[in-house]
Every structure is written in C-alpha cells, then in structure tokens.
Structure 1
C-alpha cells in the first residue's frame, strides 16, 4: 500500500505543479500545497485582481489510508479524473468526493 500511496503522491504533485506552470494569471499567484504526512494536495489561487482580493481552491485531492484518491474540489473545466487515469491512477481508485455518496455509484469511479 505504501508504494501505491507514494506513486499517487507523485502523480498528484506533478499534476498540480504542471497546472500551476501552465497558467499565467498576472498578479494572481498559483500555490501548490502538499501535505505528504496527511495526504492533502491543493492548488490555490491567491492575490489581488484590481481592487479585489482573490483566494480560491482550484483543485483539492486527498489520498485516504485505503489508497483511494478523493477529488474534493475541481473549480475548472478540466476532466481531472480522466487526466489522473492517463497518469496511472485507475478509476477504481478515484472517488468523486464532491458527489453525494448515493450518486457515486453512477459515476464510473469508486464509491468510497
């Protein structure tokens, strides 16, 4: 299990770093936040746009102790689950956590 979790940590980190590099938002900073001990991974936008302060979680992933990757936030039009499958995480290990538990059985991904 530890080997799988380390693999998923790398995939998620690499994905978030690539996303942060690919976007130029001017005065808005993209921060990759990784917590390898508790397995939380985020991409956050923060900074000033005109006279407004921006703070938004773009992506948030967790890896649970059972090795499943939970997609908790996706504030983009990217089909992030499909991207993670391409990078080596099987659909059976991806949970769309932003869907209610009763609806996950219809997503084609893991339910929990």
Structure 2
C-alpha cells in the first residue's frame, strides 16, 4: 500500500474511533456524522441537529490531503488528531497544522507551509 493510501486508511480509522467514543451515549436530537471523500481527499467529522433551544451544527475535525501531506484544517478534539496520527506512525513532517496561521506553524514540531 502506498503512503497516501495508508494515510487515508489511518485518517478514516481514527475518525471512526473518535466518532464511536463521542456518540456513546448519544446526545438526543444531535447526530454526529462522518464524511469521507477519497476522490477529493476531504475527511470530516461533524454534528447536526437540535437541542431543546438551539440548532447544533459544527465541524469537530476537518482533514484533507494536499501536496502529499495531511492538512488538519480544524481540530476540536481534546488530544489532537495530529497526536493520534503520530502515534499511528505518521511522521510529523507529513502533518500540517493548517488551523494555525502560517507564521506560527514554524514554531510547531510539525510541517509548515
């Protein structure tokens, strides 16, 4: 399996695991959803629904593949998806924390563009 195909599999497995943990027990009226678009290399974990008083909608994690790197565009997890990817064997040099401004990324231990 080539590197990018391996990364796709890791991303899907990690997001699926997070989704299963977050929906146990489920929140009444709110769905957590996963959207995997391998053709465009976009991976989302998000919520939609209603609580008693308000609309719930939001992206917890958005990851995309770009320039043969994993770009984390949004990450509201406590541990950080980047750390889960590193634990799964992805080198930090292949992960871009795109939710940080470009001038700050060079201060992280991850790739910067």
TM-score, reference length from structure 1:
0.91
1:80 and 2:81 are equivalent in the alignment: yes
User: How many pairs align?
Assistant: 110
Per-residue CA deviations over 1:22-69 (Å, capped at 9, x if unaligned) read 1123221110101000100010111111121111100000111x3100
Structure 2 unmatched ranges of 5 or more: none
1:50-97 alpha-carbon deviations (Å, 9 max, x no partner): 121111100000111x31001110122222211110112110100000
Ranges of 4+ aligned residues in structure 1 off by more than 2 Å: none
* Structure 1, unpaired ranges of 5+: none
Instruction: Provide the TM-score with structure 2 as the length reference.
Output: 0.91
Q: Once the 2 structures are TM-superposed, how far is the Cα of residue 3 of structure 1 from its aligned partner?
A: 1.3
Question: Aligned-residue CA RMSD in angstroms?
Answer: 1.3
